[in-house]
Amino acid sequence: MTKQTRANSIILVLTTLLSLTLTAVVVAQEPRLESRVPDPPRSEINAILDSARAVGLPTEPLVDRALEGVSKGAGPDLVLEAVRRLNTELVAARDALGDQSSDAEIVAGASALRAGASPEDLTYLRQLRPDQPLTVAAAVLADLVAVGVPLDTAVAAVVALAEQAADAEYIAFRKNVERDISLGASPVTALGVRLEAAADHLDLGSRNPAPRPRKP
């Protein structure tokens, strides 16, 4: 091998390495964060996005959460912590709901976990509604907790409706509970009344869902 050939080979290897490095660095940048999110925490958020992308998690909600924080004037630490926390919840939601879950289901599942539901609750919901999207059911669970319904009561109601209720019925149920609460009913009372009405409408009494798994 002549000196010229050896030099050319070295240059070729170096440029290949340069291209791979450049690719890795550039790919990690989320364009929507570039002009909106300062660094820090932009680099750390990009790293979280990369890891989420690598395991097939939706990155859109993570970007949205970072942009929300910046628009609302939150500091870098607060924005980064919010993105980290959401990423953890998305991972847990996907694990609980299964690898075939849609992005919307994973996001709604993460909301339910944020509301206090357990991963076992989500897995059980999936078992009860194997052929229907869980987006609305999981979201209604989170929404009920957000308007003051105790967690266990909200989980029990959503599970009770799981086998029979369509998405529209879940949403109507939630709206009715919210309306009753806004009119002065206690959250538990509102939920009880509306669940009873839904049970009559959906004929829930004729079915016995499988027992809900308990935490060890």
**List of residues contacting other proteins (CB under 8 A):** 4-5, 8, 11-12, 14-16, 18-20, 22-23, 26-27, 32, 36, 53, 56, 58-61, 63-64, 67-74, 78, 81-82, 85, 102-104, 107-108, 111, 114-115, 133, 135-136, 139-140, 142-143, 145-147, 167-168, 170-171, 174, 178
Q: How many CB atoms lie within 10 A of CB 75?
A: 12
Rounded distance between C-alpha atoms, residue 92 and residue 148, angstroms:
24
Angle at 95 between CA 154 and CA 61, to 5 degrees: 75
Q: CB of residue 213 vs other proteins: minimum separation in angstroms? A: 24
Q: CB of residue 208 vs other proteins: minimum separation in angstroms? A: 26
Give 85's contacts (C-beta < 8 A, 6+ positions apart): none
Nearer CB in complex with other proteins: 95/167: 167
Q: CB of residue 206 vs other proteins: minimum separation in angstroms? A: 25
Nearer CB in complex with other proteins: 184/210: 184
CB-based contact 49:34 (threshold 8 Å):
no
Nearer CB in complex with other proteins: 147/156: 147
Q: CB of residue 164 vs other proteins: minimum separation in angstroms? A: 16
Task: Tell me if residue 172 falls in helix, strand or coil.
Answer: helix
Give 124's contacts (C-beta < 8 A, 6+ positions apart): 159, 212, 213
Q: CB of residue 17 vs other proteins: minimum separation in angstroms? A: 9
Cα 137 from chain centroid? 13
Nearer CB in complex with other proteins: 47/213: 47
